[in-house]
């Protein structure tokens, strides 16, 4: 079935509509050559239309893609990408000039878009564009109830992870190291977290603008100075806001598995996986007790920070995603060491 992606500036990109499901959202792009399964199930993409820039997607098996592979060839293969998308009710437009879409977004910035059938009436198109994109989507992707992963290590640090849309491999990575982890919903109060008496607190990744969830920022404020804290991605941004810094929207964000990050403490450069559209304003850190520890090599934006006196640190990227593959796992080791030091 013929379909098209229409951007709010009037640009139109034609393709094939897989399952006749319409879509509305912010159009973004991911530059990774692999990892489409991870990208398509990442809660941080909630309410977005994802353009996958690699030309063939589905070959080891959702959403604007160049070419949809119908026959997978990998020993992990269980079902086709097309079947998965249809079963999950995920809209998919394929055989699209994704390079043209990406160039448009890079030049003009992320913008609202819709996916509709080729013959969609103008009235329907106008109605879809008239509906604003929902902003506060953290509550859509957080866990509905708390759960705990026990540790086999007797001396395991106990961490409460606040789930703002956490990727499961983050939890798995910490658990594999030996942490005991209780994952709690995003609406959990600081008092409830502290009542569990954890050794440390983890603030997870998640979708959207951190300024859209001021109620969460207020709870994070109450946690500062109470327990050691480690934040990733949205958690990093929420931590910055809670300590008085500011965030801003990037023109087209950082989304992909090939983002170079420099650790200013060692001079080492790591290849990282990222998925975010906002960044911490470095100028706003000037009079705060926060030190920038990591920067993005491409554009110099803040990728990590650490409190000067309290056991608090955060990074903007995903150390668990393993594009290195294990280059950035040292951050979880640092969190472990921080918690053990506090005993």
Q: What tokens were used for 212?
A: 């859209």
Q: What tokens were used for 49?
A: 């239309």
Q: Which residues pair with 230 in a beta bridge?
A: 202, 313
DSSP 21: -
- Rounded distance, CA 242 to CA 63, Å? 34
Rounded to the nearest 10 degrees, the angle between the axes of helix 234-242 and helix 214-223 is 70
Q: Do the beta carbons of residue 115 and residue 22 sit within 8 Å?
A: yes
Q: Do the beta carbons of residue 81 and residue 62 sit within 8 Å?
A: yes
Q: Do the beta carbons of residue 203 and residue 238 sit within 8 Å?
A: yes
What is the set of active-site residues?
233, 318, 320
**71: buried, middle or exposed (CB in 10 Å: 19+, 13-18, 0-12)?**
exposed
Rounded to the nearest 10 degrees, the angle between the axes of helix 330-341 and helix 168-177 is 60
Of 57, 49, 181, which is closest to residue 115 (Cα–Cα)? 49
- Strands of the 229-232 sheet, one edge to the other: 147-149, 180-185, 158-163, 200-203, 229-232, 312-315, 302-307, 290-296, 247-263, 269-280
């Amino acid at each position: 079935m013929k379909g098209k992606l229409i951007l709010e500036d009037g640009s139109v990109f034609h393709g094939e509509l897989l399952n006749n499901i319409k879509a509305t959202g912010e159009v973004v792009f991911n530059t990774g050559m692999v990892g489409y399964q991870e990208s398509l199930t990442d809660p941080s993409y909630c309410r977005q239309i994802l353009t996958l820039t690699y030309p063939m997607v589905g070959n080891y098996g959702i959403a604007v893609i160049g070419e949809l592979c119908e026959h997978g060839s990998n020993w992990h293969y269980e079902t086709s990408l097309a079947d998965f998308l249809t079963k999950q009710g995920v809209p998919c437009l394929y055989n699209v000039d994704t390079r043209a879409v990406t160039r448009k977004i890079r030049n003009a910035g992320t913008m609202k878009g819709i996916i509709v059938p080729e013959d969609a009436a103008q009235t329907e198109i106008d109605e879809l564009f008239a509906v604003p994109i929902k902003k506060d989507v953290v509550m859509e992707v957080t866990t509905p109830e708390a759960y705990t992963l026990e540790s086999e290590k007797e001396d395991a640090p106990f961490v409460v992870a606040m789930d703002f849309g956490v990727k499961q491999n983050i939890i798995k990575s910490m658990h594999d190291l030996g942490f005991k982890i209780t994952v709690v919903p995003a609406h959990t109060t600081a008092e409830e977290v502290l009542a569990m008496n954890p050794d440390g607190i983890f603030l997870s990744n998640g979708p959207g603008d951190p300024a859209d969830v001021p109620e969460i920022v207020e709870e994070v404020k109450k946690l500062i100075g109470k327990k050691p804290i480690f934040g990733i991605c949205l958690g990093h941004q929420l931590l910055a806001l809670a300590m008085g810094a500011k965030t801003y929207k990037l023109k087209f964000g950082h989304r992909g598995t090939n983002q170079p990050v420099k650790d200013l403490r060692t001079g080492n450069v790591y290849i990282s996986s990222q998925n975010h559209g906002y960044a911490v304003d470095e100028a706003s850190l000037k009079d705060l007790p926060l030190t920038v520890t990591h920067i993005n090599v491409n554009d110099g934006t803040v990728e990590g920070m650490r409190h000067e006196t309290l056991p608090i640190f955060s990074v903007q990227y995903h150390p668990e995603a393993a594009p290195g593959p294990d280059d950035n796992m040292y951050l979880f080791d640092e969190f472990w060491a921080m918690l053990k030091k506090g005993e």
